[in-house]
Every structure is written in structure tokens, then in C-alpha cells.
Amino acid sequence: MTQENPTESELIYDWNLLGDKVSPPLRRVEYVDETLRDGIQCPSVTDPPIDAKLEMIRLMDSIGIDHVDVGLPGAGQRAVDDCTVLVEMIRDEGLNIKPQCAARTHPNDIRPVIEISQKTGVPIEVMAFLGASPIRLYTEGWTAELLEERTRSSVRMAKDNNLEVSFVTEDTVRSHPKLLAKLFRAALDEGADGLTLCDTVGHATPDGVYNLIHFARNLIRAHEADCRIDWHGHDDRGHSLPNALMAIEAGADRVHGTVLGMGERVGNTPLDLFLVNLKLLGVEDADLGDLAALVELASKSCEVPIPPSYPVFGRDAFRTGTGVHAAAVVKAMNRGDDWLADRIYSGVPAGWFGLNQIIEVGHYSGMSNVQAWLISHGYETSDTVCQAVFDAAKSTNRLLEDDEIHAIVRDMTQPD
């Protein structure tokens, strides 16, 4: 190693990228944000006000999200009004992000999407969904023939009105290949632009994702169709993030997710963490500096608290009150090396995502923590002040709050 100016590869040996490969290499795919549709269907989520939705889409656009599902207009007039305003903003502000609307495979759902598109002059992709698993057919009393007719009529209706359409099968990962083949061929016959494979109940493992996407890819190839494949996953078994990465390896063209993974039951693929991982793996090169702002806005406006230990964006993600950790960060800071300070005890560079490393003071802290905290808050690091803060920290069983340290400094520095 060159001690004077070591290279990044000399300082960090990345077993994730070096050595043998179990899987094919990842690649950049398109991202579909479902926060304003699937996300707000979560029972604990508040449908945010329109101003918050507008700002969320601006932030999505700024970090390179390709598509946004602006809602389900078939749900009622409020949904129609919100979808219209959001599409108009995308048009008027010249954003690159492209709007989609969810719709059942029914004219009453597809018609409002057509009307919004005609009113705004903006092409809107129709995401026409239909349940396809045997358990759903048994419960609903549906037949394969009925589902094929709905598939054909809905895709045809969208295409006849010059709109892109993706045919979405709910619960795809528990659906029989014979019925999927029948429905997929019907959608392709009618000119569907995409097939969306859904893990609606979070059932899939990575092997299931691989098998399903290869099945769909081979069917499209046999049909000689020009059709993309989307992956839409939920997190009931905790597999949504690795499943999304597997979807890329298996050949998906687009991957869906929501901010903070909000959605039905335990939620969807967390799009924020999906982007973080692709950035760290060298697949995504976009500037994700606004990603923290998007996560914070979604949390606040949808009233979804961020757990302290949530990766990257949780309160504790870049905080340390441990003396050994803090001492190493401080040494890097003293070198004037922000790159080093951001990585010495962090596998995720905070600065990439609009965040910072934070040194706190508590019962596991050393004097380095105290000095770093005082300097970062504009205080002198006199021996008496440092010792007073250090003693206070050691007398507790937790981290000191900032207000507590400010009060100690004031007491030590105010004249008698």
C-alpha cells in the first residue's frame, strides 16, 4: 500500500465486486415509483396533500426515477383530480419522469385514464391489473375464459386510444403457468407494451423470481413480441430487496418500489434502499443527493415514522457514540480527508445521499467524541469543558441530548 496517497482500492477490498460471481452482472434498469398509488394503500399511511405529492415527484425526477404511478383514477373524483394535477405539473415543468395510472381490467377504470391523458395532452401508461392465481379464481368464481376476455378488452381499449399499456397479473408468483401463458399471449396479441409480474403477497424467494421472469421472457421470445418485463414485489417474507436485485439479473427491464417500502400489509420493495444498493454496486451513477429529502418528505407527509435503525435514512444510520469508532472518524477528519471520514466506520458513504457522519457523546464515548462534538457545534475545546462533558456522559446509561451538552458548556463558560 502507498502510505502517502493510497488509492480507494488499496483502502477497501470489496468482496462484493471482486472474485468469483454467483450471478450475472447487474445493469441499469428503469425505476417505477409506486409511492403515490400502492404506497398510500397501506392501512397506516395518510394520503398526503397535493402540494406534498407535487414536491415528491419533483424529487423523484431529480434523482432519476423514470416512471411514477400517479394514482388509481377509477377510485373516485379525488383520485381523478389529484392525478390530473400531477400530470399537468409533469407537463408544465418539463420533467423527465413519465406518468402511469393503475386500473382494473375494466372500462370504468381505464376510461378516466384516457380522459386525463386527453385533457392534459400527456401520454399516460395504463397499468391494467387482473388477479390470476388459482386461489383468487376459486374465491371469485372466475374462469380462464373470463380473464382472457378482460385481458384482451382492456389492452385493446388502451391501445385504441393511443396509450401505452402494461398488463399486470396480480399474485403472479402463485399463478399456474398454463393460465399465465394464456393471458400473456392474449395481452401480446392485443399489443401490450409490457408484462408486469407481481409478488402481490410477498411469497417469492429469489429462485421464484428467476424462474418466473425466465418463463415470461421465453414466452415473449416465442411470440416474437417487442415487450418489456416489470417486476413488482412485496415484503411479507422480508425478501423484497434481494428479489428486486434478482429481477435485474433474471432479465427484468423495470423494477417497481415505494419510498420507505410503504404499501399493503408490510409494504413493497423500498425503492430508496434499492437505489442505494445499485449506487454502491456501481450500477447507478446518478446524483442521489436529493434521496434523503425525498425519504424525509414521504415520511412526514404520509405520516410514516422512519425507524431509528432504518438503513441509510434512519436517525442512527450515521451516528456513533462509541469511543473507538469516533476516534477513527476524528483522525480522518483531522487529516482533512472527508472521503476517509465518510467510510472508515461506514459501509455507505453518507455524503452520496445528502447526509453526514454524526459523532455523539454517551456512556461508551471517549474524549474524542467530546472534542468532535464541541468543534462541530462551534465551541472551544478547553480541558475543563471537555472534562465536564465527559464526566456527565459517563454518569449516564445513554447518549446525551444536544440540549444537555449545550447547558453544560454554558454553565462552564459563563462568568461567576
Same domain, 256 and 345: no
Residue 398: inside a domain: yes
Q: Does residue 144 sit in the same domain as residue 236?
A: yes
**What's the pLDDT at 9?**
81
298 plus 202 within the same structural domain: yes
d(Cα 143, Cα 330) in Å, to the nearest integer?
A: 67
Say if residue 335 is in the same domain as residue 275: no
Tell me the residue length of the chain.
Answer: 416
Using the 3D structure, point to which of 276, 302, 328 is the last residue of a domain: 302
**Domain final residue, candidates 269, 302, 335:** 302
- 223 inside domain: yes
Nearest to 89 by CA among 56, 118, 48, 64: 56
- If asked whether residues 369 and 399 sit together in one domain, one would say yes
Reference 204, options 178, 234, 184, 176; nearest CA is: 234
| 388 plus 263 within the same structural domain | no
- Which ranges of the chain have pLDDT less than 70? 1-3, 415-416
In a domain, 13, yes or no: no
**CATH code at 133?**
3.20.20.70
Q: State whether 61 and 95 are in the same domain.
A: yes
Give the CB-side neighbour count of residue 363, counting CA atoms within 13 A. 4
- Whether 183 and 329 map to the same domain: the answer is no
Q: For the residues of 233-286, what is the DSSP string, one character each?
A: EB-TTS-HHHHHHHHHHHT-SEEEEBGGG--STT-B-BHHHHHHHHHHTTS--S
Q: Which domain holds residue 43?
A: 30-302
- Computed from CA positions of residues 377, 382, 385, 387, in that sequence, does the dihedral angle turn out positive or negative? positive
Domain edge (last residue) among 302, 328, 347: 302
Domain count, the chain: 2
Q: Clarify whether residues 400 and 274 are in a common domain.
A: no
Q: pLDDT for 344-372, tens place per residue?
A: 889 999 999 989 888 899 999 899 889 88
Q: Is the pTM of this model over 0.85?
A: yes
